[in-house]
Amino acid sequence: MSFIRNILKNSRFHKDGNFFLLLNAILGYKVKKKSLYVKAFTHRSMNIKDNDGNAINYERLEFVGDAMLGAVIASYLFEEVPHGDEGYLTKMRSKIVSREHLNELGKELNLIDLVESKIPKSNFGNNIHGNLFEALVGAIYLDKGYKYCEKFIYKRVIKPHVDIETLEGRVISYKSLLIEWCQKEKKTFDYNVYEDTGNDDLKHFSVKLSIDEKVIAKARATSKKKAEEKASKRAFFAFQKEISRAF
């Protein structure tokens, strides 16, 4: 594990003795396999590899954390909502582990303050917060096992943030909901997306959302996906009563 010792010696993880103190405070226990947590907070921009040439960053731990969150949340919902069918349980789990919610959890724990990166923190996208949260969950599982991981998820996710009644009314994708409604009501829909940079430094996209060949909403954002979601949200509120009756 000489590569990990080198990271600890030459990086902020070593220079800032508060790193593991802060981490222990978040977790409620003293970490054992420090190398896992080094990886969990190492951004790919550091361009570090182990002795076998494998990249050292949090991305693989994200994969593990995502799986553990899904498993623990699925088990919780299965016990908590015995009347829920597979479709209901899937939707509820998606709401709890949505990218938006994971980003909120990462921000709540100030995980970005722990990350080691060559990129200024101001340049990170919003998803960095959720990515770090997933990586942390992955590290916990690999360090301490399922029970500790489950305990952390209950403490940081389920107990403070999961309310079944509130979640039932929460929309995680206005576009998906709108498309489902249009298909159910046999309405035609079209997202006309085009590049609209204008005088902005960043590339922007505009979208015109038409339902039954009538433009219902327009929106503009820095990605096609964001523009479509923003237009869908505006269209949802235009048809909120009709959509509520349909579902």
Q: Which two tokens stand for residue 178?
A: 């709108």
Residues with a catalytic annotation lie at: 66, 134
Helix and strand numbers, DSSP H then E, in the chain: 14, 3
Phi, psi of 222 (to 5 degrees): -85, 0
The Cα–Cα gap between 52 and 2 comes to 12
The Cα–Cα gap between 213 and 183 comes to 15
- Locus of tokens 């553990």: 68
With beta carbons less than 8 A apart as the criterion, state whether 70 and 55 touch: no
Angle (deg, nearest 10), helices 59-80 and 86-96: 130
Where are the extended beta strands (E) located within the chain? 189-195, 205-211, 214-221
With beta carbons less than 8 A apart as the criterion, state whether 103 and 130 touch: yes
The Cα–Cα gap between 111 and 173 comes to 26
Q: Which two tokens stand for residue 114?
A: 């722990």
Question: CA separation (Å) from 49 to 54, 201, 245?
Answer: 5, 34, 55
Q: How many CA atoms lie within 13 A of 33 on its CB side?
A: 13
